[in-house]
Amino acid sequence: MSLNGRVALVTGAGRGIGRAIAIALAKDGADVAVNYRRDEESARSAVAEIEAAGGKAQAYKGSVDNLADVTAMVAEIGRDMGKIGILVNNAGIASRGQSVADTEPAEMERVVGVHAFGPYYLSKLVIPMMRELDRGDIVMISSVATDSYAAYGSPYAMGKAAQEALVYTLAKEEHMNNIRTNIVAPPLVETDMGRRLVKARSGIEDLRELDAGMPFGHVCQPDDIANAVRYLVSDLNTYVNGQRIAVDGGGSASAPAFATR
């Protein structure tokens, strides 16, 4: 799968799923913009890993729910790297696990802002660039949380539901411009966020203790998600648009109720 000559922006790409996606797209030949909000060290480390493997990447700071931040970031990427042809909206934050009655409005605004408004802002900004290219791809990293809408997670679930609604709309609006828009929905993944969630809910320190109860004998890994993204943005994907792919080993119905990244 060759992405030579294409520019990719991956949000929240310093760690976890975003980092795996950024590295994978760079291996396939894309020049990658590694977005981060606060953890510059991790973002620089991801860039260094890509460059050490012969790829091209640069780190860009910006909070995706801040329109001024992302407007400036997209303009800077355009100057440095060229028109963005691949956008992976991965940046995410967890909610605090409280009931609707106990959830503060500020938390709701923050979580929905990151998961829904951030992808909207970035899609709005990059689509005009993509229309000028031979092809464009937008991938949203959602969650199997939207399969069941469990209790005590309304900000996260609402943000992801809105994000997915955006995909279905864009798929109908932009396919005539050769832009494909799709969703990848992970289950529990072995990331910092996943570890914190499981520890808070069950006290388990090591996610690999859950391997035996997971599909194919292991907790989902960041590379499992990255490989799905690689396919969706590659030339192998000629006709997949407006789809939601759950990369959960087929086990969402029976896996433990840790439906987040």
Q: Which residues are designated catalytic?
A: 156
Q: How far apart are CA 83 and CA 6, in angstroms?
A: 8
Tokens representing 59?
């780190």
Q: How far apart are CA 214 and CA 187, in angstroms?
A: 11
Do 74 and 128 form a contact (C-beta atoms < 8 A)? no
Q: How far apart are CA 62 and CA 66, in angstroms?
A: 8
* β-bridge partners, 182: 139
Q: How far apart are CA 25 and CA 7, in angstroms?
A: 9
Do 103 and 95 form a contact (C-beta atoms < 8 A)? yes
Q: How far, rounded to the nearest angstrom, does the alpha carbon of residue 10 sit from its chain's CA centroid?
A: 7
Q: How far apart are CA 74 and CA 206, in angstroms?
A: 38
Do 47 and 25 form a contact (C-beta atoms < 8 A)? no
